[in-house]
Structure 1
């Protein structure tokens, strides 16, 4: 039996968190599938750093390392297994690296929803800029908004109260999680713009957010996922 490669371990970690992708990836050209999962695996690394609990120092050090790694990709000097797949894409990696410190600042409980959105605005724009090059699509501001809302929704799910604006907690701390989830959904169109991989990923993430906002358990059947991602793939 063969031993999984270092790259496979990162890709499989993301696939384990998103089992629905097994259905969704049918709408991604076969030659792009590894690239797409590598990219989303990298973003998951950043999500984990943003949503770290306990002592933040190891995560902060890891984020600093990632900043150096991304800057090295323009000179084709990747060290990480994900870089072997992503580095050949001539994307604005340095721009993304410059926004990574925002993830540390965004861990602080925001004063209000507007501050929560501002804290990760530059990061989301940098992610959208990379995807525009990676998937050869025009850069659009509404793609950055979709990335931003998805990142905040994932943070709410992973970090709970720490992700909720203080203004909502002050109004009613028991209703605040659902209210924040619903506000994020209101900014998150059912069909987002951007390249097909982003549309597919957003459709899956938004479906999860809808169930969390309604205080229901998320259940994704293959048929529901197939319908949802087919609809998203149409653009």
Structure 2
């Protein structure tokens, strides 16, 4: 099977990073709160999560995304054995992270494509992948991680980019449902300290977007800087 998006093993990771940055234009303002030496690794890790999310949630048909997730299971299993095909692996594969555990959790992500029944189901559906992603956070970034915070950032990502399928059925549809789920997410946003600055920044930006009432709208520069500073400080 070819790599997703017809990328070759000699491809440029920057193309994948650019897709993730397109969803987070604020990042160019707040990345200064991160050590310069860590930024390429952080960008690759964020871009990789973006790829998995889009495979699970994007498009009208489920099969293309399911095929991508199966490919990623094989790819991550290869990473655990010293092999790689995807360009992001040039930055990530050699890192001492539990890639095999992520491979085992990825199949559960395909089931999250359907609208959850209620808020509890939305959170619960992401538990397996959130735990695996949190374990990688700890390995890559050498700081404690919180799977509940990871799940929160992923729920925000889905609402921001795929709102029609993100809103729990119990909250209705259309703009009213989106507003209700935005409010519920913000009300249940986890508080955590001591996280890696990059995860703290992402969580703070997401929470600030929700507080302003639009999960997909980039924050104004001053608001982004304030959120980024708070997130980096933990």
Aligned position for 1:210:
211
**Aligned counterpart for 2:24 among listed residues 15, 18, 23:** 18
**Aligned counterpart for 2:80 among listed residues 70, 74, 80:** 74
Contact 2:25 2:218 in 1 (8 A): no
Aligned position for 1:168:
171
Aligned position for 2:189:
188
**Aligned counterpart for 1:107 among listed residues 106, 110, 113:** 113
C-alpha spacing 1:192/1:162, structure 2 compared with 1 (3 Å): farther
For residues 175 and 191 of structure 1, the distance between their equivalents in structure 2, rounded to whole angstroms, comes to: 29
Q: Deviations over 1:185-215 (max 9, x none)?
A: 122147665211100111122222223xx35
Give the C-alpha shift of residue 113 in structure 1.
Answer: 1.4
C-alpha spacing 1:51/1:193, structure 2 compared with 1 (3 Å): farther
Give the C-alpha shift of residue 75 in structure 1.
Answer: 1.7
C-alpha spacing 1:81/1:219, structure 2 compared with 1 (3 Å): closer
C-alpha spacing 1:101/1:216, structure 2 compared with 1 (3 Å): closer
Give the C-alpha shift of residue 105 in structure 1.
Answer: 0.6
Q: Deviations over 1:152-197 (max 9, x none)?
A: 122123222322222222xx87632211111111221476652111
Aligned position for 2:40:
34
Structure 2, unaligned runs of 5 or more: 1-10
Aligned position for 1:84:
90
**Aligned counterpart for 2:144 among listed residues 132, 138, 143:** 138
C-alpha spacing 1:162/1:107, structure 2 compared with 1 (3 Å): same
Structure 1, unaligned runs of 5 or more: none
Alignment of 1:50-61 (within 5 A): 50-61=56-67
Q: Secondary structure at the match of 2:60?
A: coil
Contact 1:192 1:202 in 2 (8 A): no
Give the C-alpha shift of residue 130 in structure 1.
Answer: 0.5
C-alpha spacing 1:22/1:216, structure 2 compared with 1 (3 Å): closer
Deviating above 6 A after TM superposition, structure 1's stretches of 4 or more consecutive aligned residues are: none
RMSD over equivalenced CA pairs, Å? 2.2
Contact 1:49 1:103 in 2 (8 A): no
Alignment of 1:210-229 (within 5 A): 210-211=211-212, 214=213, 218-229=217-228
Aligned position for 1:97:
103
Paired residues, number: 225
For residues 178 and 192 of structure 1, the distance between their equivalents in structure 2, rounded to whole angstroms, comes to: 28
